[in-house]
Amino acid sequence: MKAELGKNLIEVEGLKKYFNVGSGKVLKAVDNLNFFIREGETLGMVGESGCGKSTAGRTILRLYEPTAGSVKFNGTDIYKLSPNKMKAMRRDMQMIFQDPYASLNPRFTVSDIIGEALDIHKMAGSGGERKKRIEELLDLVGLNTDHATRYPHEFSGGQRQRIGIARALAVNPKFIICDEPISALDVSIQAQVVNLLQELQERLGLTYLFIAHDLSMVKHISDRVAVMYYGKMVELADSEELYSNPIHPYTKSLLSAIPIADPEIESQKKRILLSAEGGGPIRSAGEASEESTLVEVSPGHWVATPY
Partner 1 sequence: MARYVTSKLLYTLLSLFILITATFFLMKAIPGDPFMSEKEVPAPIRARLEAQYGLDKPLMTQYVNYLGNIVQGDLGISMKKLNQEVSHIIGQTFGVSLRLGLIAVVVSTIVGVALGLLAALYHRKFIDSTVMVLAVVGIAVPSFVLASLLQYALGLKLGWFPITGLKSSLGYVLPVIALSANPIAYIARLTRSSMLEVLHADYIKTAKAKGLKWPAILWKHVIRNGILPVVTYVGPMTANVITGSVVVERIFGIGGIGKVFVDSISNRDYTMIMGITLFYGIILMLARFITDIVYVLVDPRIKLTSGKEG
Partner 2 sequence: MSNENKLNKQPLPALTAADFESVNVNERESEVIKRESLTAWRDTWERLRSNKVAMSGLVALVVIIIASIFGPWIAYWVHGYDYQTTDLMATNKKPSALHWFGTDDLGRDMFVRTWSGARISLIVGVAAALIDLLIGVIYGGIMGYFGGRVDTIMNKFSEILYAIPYLLVTILLLVVFKPSLGTIILALTITGWINMSWIVRGEIMKLKNREYVLASRSMGAGTGRLLFRHLLPNASGPIIVTLTLSVPNAIFAESFLSFLGLGVQAPISSLGSMVENALTGWMFYPWRMLFPAILISVIMLAFNLLGDGLRDALDPSLKNK
Q: Which residues bind partner 2 (CB under 8 A)?
A: 58, 61, 63, 86-88, 90-91, 93-95, 97-99, 101-107, 116-117, 120-121, 142-144, 146-147, 149-151, 153-155, 159, 164, 167, 170-171
Q: What is the DSSP letter of 81?
A: S
Give whichever of 115 and 281 is closer to partner 1, judged by the CB atom.
281
Q: Which is nearer to partner 1, 23 or 275 (CB)?
A: 23
Q: Closest distance between partner 2 and the C-beta of residue 154, in Å? A: 5
Closer by beta carbon to partner 1, 20 or else 105: 20
Among partner 1, partner 2, none, the one that 171 touches (CB under a kind-dependent 5 to 8 A) is partner 2
List alpha helices for 182-225, DSSP H.
Answer: 187-204, 215-221
- Residue 111: which of partner 1, partner 2, none does it interact with, CB under 5 to 8 A by kind? none
Strand, helix or coil at 208? strand
Length of the chain: 307
Binding site residues, partner 1, CB under 8 A: 19-23, 27, 29
Please list, residue by residue across 99-123, b when 16 or more beta carbons sit within 10 angstroms of its beta carbon and e when fewer do.
bbeebbeeeebbbbbbbebbeeeeb
Closest C-alpha among 89, 92, 95, 131 to residue 114: 131
Exposure letters 22-34 (e unless 16+ CB within 10 A, then b): eeeebbbbbbbbe
Residue 52 interacts, among partner 1, partner 2, none and using kind-specific CB cut-offs from 5 to 8 Å, with none
User: Which of partner 1, partner 2, none sits in contact with 213, Cβ below 5 to 8 A by type?
Assistant: none
Query: Which of partner 2, partner 1, none lies near 107, with the C-beta cut-off 5 to 8 A by kind?
Result: partner 2
Residue 87's binding partner among partner 2, partner 1, none (Cβ under 5 to 8 angstroms by kind) is partner 2
Which CB sits closer to partner 2, 32 or 103?
103
Q: How far apart are CB 56 and partner 1 at their closest, in Å?
A: 15
Phi, psi of 258 (to 5 degrees): -70, 125
Angle between helices 157-169 and 110-120 in degrees, nearest 10: 20
* Contact of 59 with 211, CB cutoff 8 Å: no
**Number of CB atoms found within 10 A of residue 307's CB:** 13
Selection from partner 2, partner 1, none that 116 binds (CB < 5 to 8 A by kind) is partner 2
Smaller CB distance to partner 1: residue 22 or 259? 22
CB of 180 to partner 2, least distance (A): 11
Give me the numbers of helices (H) and strands (E) for the chain, helices first please: 10, 13
Cβ at position 61, least distance to partner 2 in Å: 6
Crossing angle between the packed helical segments 127-140 and 110-120, to the nearest 10 degrees = 120
| SS3 category, 95 | strand
Minimum CB distance to partner 2 smaller for 143 or for 226: 143
When the beta carbons of 146 and 266 are compared against partner 2, the nearer one is: 146
Least spacing, CB of residue 19 vs partner 1, in Å = 5
Positive or negative torsion for Cα 131, 133, 134, 135: positive
The CB-of-237 to partner 2 minimum distance in angstroms stands at: 29
